[in-house]
Amino acid sequence: MRALLRRVSKASVEVENRPVGSIEVGILVYLGIHEADSSNDIEWLINKILGIRIFEDDNGKMNLSLGKDNGVLVVSQFTLFGNLKKGFRPSFHRAAKPKEARKVYDDFIASFLKTCPGKVESGEFGKEMSVSATDYGPVTIWLDSQSKDY
């Protein structure tokens, strides 16, 4: 499972010109699901996102994790598993197939809703989405559950 985290002052997602999710200060999560991902990957990634200290304390240091006043917007993005080893057209063969990915994505969202102290919003899996975000910092973090050593 891969996630690209962006600390934002606001973010929103639309499907067919219809708003489906939005947050104010928080984390925009682009989520890619690998063909071998399991509940262990979900748990590891959620713990990392909930614990990551990228919000400033009273001294201006990035020392705070998500709180009740922060939101999380999750957007599925299989292209995080794009591979360019053979030319210029990305291959996505390591991304989970849509049916399996949807189940993992739904499980991820359900688990996040149970554990996140703030607002959790999401895009619509498998849909063409328009995402708007205003980065705050900017702070961008890459997480990969297959590389748990960082």
Active site residues: 79
List helix spans (H) across the chain: 39-51, 98-115
3-state secondary structure of 105: helix
Question: Is 66 exposed, middle or buried (CB count within 10 Å of its CB: 0-12, 13-18, 19+)?
Answer: buried
Rounded-to-integer distance, Cα 84 and Cα 17, Å: 32
